[in-house]
Structure 1
């Protein structure tokens, strides 16, 4: 069953349940209200009649008293509570006798009397003086009240039917407005499934559906970027692997065929070893990237002091710094702590620092400090900097700047830093070189 049909069915079922409950409650209350209203009218009529009789006639003049009562178009009794006897009635004597035998006339609490499967609403009014014990009892058949009740409920039923039809129509229109964007979004998801990103159409929606639609489009854009990056990755990877393999293959075939002399053969073997080491480095870094993406178990974080991490960086870069003849300037606050895998975060920072040392002219600076709810590491050099057109892609795989090696170092650094809940960005230093800003959230 479609979502729209389910919503309409659910709303209709809910409407029926609510109507049934309301119907039952109103049905129970309306009869009580009608009975009380009828008793109030009988009481008002009886009090008016008793007041007139008390003013114009005396109890001793019973004959004229009964004549006046008999002239009233009312169902009533003249009841003597002291003798527990009906003195006079406007109804047939057989009916009076049966009603008297069936019900307790002396019961002042009972207001509904039964006779021959019919019920009557009663109202009792005392004559003055009260010591006389005379009461005027007026009756109305309950069927008359139920007829009023039935007429009321017939109209109420028609109102409910009309209201239900209007409610169902409104529900249909509202659910259609709700479901239509979802249906169109489903079509867009099918396009994403078939990788038809250029055919995507933005749908008009509001509320949570708009948020879902925006998330779908963001997912599609991210998926498209990922697929493009994967395509570029495979193209670059094939190129990076193909070049050394062709070199190795050329020298191997030349040595095998005896084309090279002894000196050339020695040189060819050295080149082959160099290219094999280069291939090994590329493959190892590709394996590391794959593990970082697919195997979270290889990442074992712990709390690391920033100053300890900085000392490890200094120790490992010292030979390269001395070889290049540049200065390594470091500053670190004492309260810096990073929650990360020590070995991997050290490798990420070394990749960035070594990249700076390779391109620096005279100095590389490393700063560690806190700002707000973040720990920040800034690595700068005074080299030529990152070309403007290369900056958006500098962390992509196999993207190399001038004098770059495998093109995977910064990609590995970003993967490790992001796995440590951090971020890394590249920009231009005030000295003209590259500037890398790494941020980690403070651990609560």
Structure 2
């Protein structure tokens, strides 16, 4: 009996020590990687989450596009985050590398976001994040040069020719890059990938050189050949040249995104914002849509808490407050009709254009598309190659790169 009592006393002391030790009583914590100069948008939400869950949330700003690369190194080393912020088109590659954990939330949570944004964060039928914000391109026009945006691209082309006679420019657009030209190529019958019967992308069926895509490329080419586009907007410095011409009052219209509005405002431009115009077919011009995803690291030891965090910071109130502070347009469906979004020209344009937008494919093979496609568009823009030949070469190059870099994946 004495031995039993002694054993019980030892057990009791051990349990007491376990519950009272610094390790057992330590507060839970989360490490969140956020975009550069954007963490202030979530400060109030983070503070509220910490109080509700008695946790410590450390937010570290990291370059947005490079977080997956950093996670690849820091995750296995045990120094990585619980939550990362990544572009949705990097999700497929990150999943294949074993870097992201699935997100399993109630249907009421996923239903609160636009379907296109949730689809963008879904890979092989599994959800790997919740959308922080969406962005897509639209038109910005100088109200002191034109009272409103013409309804069609054909009208914009004619306006551009007229303004060139006054040594000014009409439309300026970075149409030597697929991101900006997708709406034209797709609207005229092209696309990046075909679809399988289940709706998933078929990386063996590249549609960038279909007859419709070729017609779209020819349409783009005439803006360059007729000199309504300056040669300086081709290549790496093109966006800077476009912004410079617009902010100096020498261009009436630019195709850009929400990131450009603050600089235009600071430059004192009296601008208006509108969705993209109609194509020659009469169809509304579409665009690529990007989604910023709060995703959970596979290496996180607090996945359940991390999931609660990304759900909380993206609810109606917190997403609205973040927009007020940062201008990032949320994917929360009900916020589209909120006056804070509805009365903001940039946010309203994103919301309206998103109706016609297509999420950039998030399969790993998309990485092989950008380089060849952009090279082909530059050849077309500079008239160094005809549209059909340039696009045929691009598709051939894309297929070769997919075969070389993704054949082992069985895609």
TM-score (norm 1): 0.26
**Structure with max Cα Rg:** 1
Higher relative contact order (CA 8 A, sep 6+): 2
Greater share of helix: 1
TM-score (norm 2): 0.27
